[in-house]
Amino acid sequence: MTGLSPSRPATAVLLAAGLGTRMKSSRPKAMQPIAGQPMLAHLLANAAEVFDRLVVVVGPDMEDVAQLAAPFPVVVQTERLGTAHAALQAEDWFGEGDVAVLYADNPLISAQTMARLLEERRQPDVGLALLAMRPANPGRYGRVMTEDGAVTRIVEWADATPEERTIDLCNAGVLCADAGHFRRWLHAVGNDNAKGEFYLTDVVDLAVAENAHVRAVEAAEEELRGVNSRAELAQAEAALQQRLRAKALDGGATLVAPETVFLSTDTVLAPDVVVEPHVIFGPGVTVHEGASIRAFSHLEGCDVLPGAIIGPYARLRPGTVVGPDARVGNFVELKNATLGDGTKVNHLSYVGDADVGAQTNIGAGTIVCNYDGTFKYHTDIGSNVFIGSDSVLVSPLTIGDNALVAAGSTITSDVPADALAFGRARQQNRDGYGKRFKDARRAKKENS
């Protein structure tokens, strides 16, 4: 077969019609999450770096998978008749150039490995390229037979001889070929097998039969292993977490105990960020230079600006922005809240749907009541405000700059700037009543 120009267009077909029966889940396999994102999202992101066109093959009634795939085109495999049949559903999108078939349940294939596959396919004498690995435990993987560097066939484990089973080069199932040849081979695949399905691996035999040179591109097991069960999902999570931690460390962040920190794919940790043990980053978190995240904190959908300190045992929910040098202490929860420069919410407080100015102090046990059971309401707290401990701020509410709210207050009306607000009942002392009350309760208990 003739050589190919590196400028040839390339199409990736992503097979995502699997039900994930072994997952024992009502959620499609492609939607199972790893590092805060569905498996398909990882594959889409990496494939988009390499291929000119992407098309996703889904099963019937998989609207959530189709929505995730947008804006890439989606085709439906109405009958699940095997992987070759699934790939053939995308035939109209092959175009000219090269076509690779990938799997949503192989979510960790890096863009670099995809590029190597495409580069190998574009060698002058290569008609078909595939991905292969040498797993620590080859188990029941299909074995890749080679001769003089060329792939001669793939032998499924069940059909392999004892000698063939000793071969450790295993098939990962990903293929790449010229679009025209791929079309022809897919149409030629038969279903004369126990399940009556059309298998993509049969394309290798068809290519070899035409004297097309087939080459294997090797990659690490952690990239190529399939995810078909909960146990394999956990293994993929562990592998990706190792990759994400290494990236964070290389970027200049300090992870005190890396193995205890869990990151999302889009987590951004700037240089000189310090992350203590047992911290979880959900999707959408950016932590800026010099900030510290203390132990046992959980962050999601938030922005932590330079010099801020979060935790320990803090929870930042989506929409939260913590300003420079602000402090969010133990057992504090923030939701859709903005804290200004140097503001402190140090312990045992909830602040939701609120904007808080600079250099404000919110005392222990303060609660912003932002929800009436039907609607959410907003609270504005100015700069240099002092909120006394155990205060309840009932939204909607505005507290002006330099105001002071007395400890134990329930505030239901706006507080002007520079004002002192009391929102509590006047204390009354009844001499001797405490002792009489306790004596009466003890007597009742003894006589009951």
The binding site for UDP-N-acetyl-alpha-D-glucosamine consists of 15-18, 29, 77, 82-83, 142, 156, 171, 228, 317, 335, 350, 361
* Dist CA 155 CA 161 (whole Å): 9
Q: Residues annotated as binding site?
A: 15-18, 29, 77, 82-83, 105, 142, 156, 171, 228, 317, 335, 350, 361, 364, 370-371, 389, 407, 424
* Dist CA 445 CA 303 (whole Å): 55
Asked if 161 and 143 touch (Cβ cutoff 8 Å), the reply is no
Does the bond joining 162 to the residue before it have cis omega, within 30 degrees of 0? no
Asked if 176 and 100 touch (Cβ cutoff 8 Å), the reply is yes
- Please give the structure tokens belonging to residue 158: 């069940």
Contact partners, residue 447, CB within 8 Å, separation at least 6: none
Q: Residues annotated as binding site for Mg(2+)?
A: 105, 228
- Counting other chains too, the contacts that 407-413 makes at CB distance below 8 Å and 24 or more residues apart are 407/363
Would you please indicate which residues are annotated as catalytic (active-site) residues?
347
Asked if 390 and 365 touch (Cβ cutoff 8 Å), the reply is yes
* Dist CA 205 CA 202 (whole Å): 5
How many residues belong to the chain? Answer: 448
Q: Which of 348, 351, 408 is nearest to 381 (CA)?
A: 351
Angle at 197 between CA 191 and CA 201, to 5 degrees: 80
Q: What is the DSSP string of 404-438?
A: EE-TT-EE-S-B-TT-EE--SPPP---TTHHHHHH
Q: What is the DSSP string of 304-338?
A: E-TT-EE-SS-EE-TTEEEPTT-EEEET-EEEEEE
Asked if 370 and 343 touch (Cβ cutoff 8 Å), the reply is no
Axis crossing angle, helix 39-48 with helix 111-121, rounded to the nearest 10:
50
Q: Residues annotated as binding site for acetyl-CoA?
A: 364, 370-371, 389, 407, 424
Classified as helix, coil or strand, 269 is strand
Classified as helix, coil or strand, 355 is strand
Output Rg (C-alpha) for the chain, integer angstroms.
Answer: 30
Contact partners, residue 79, CB within 8 Å, separation at least 6: 85
Helix, strand, coil shares of the chain as percentages rounded to 5? 25, 30, 45
Q: Which of 255, 263, 250, 222 is nearest to 34 (CA)?
A: 263
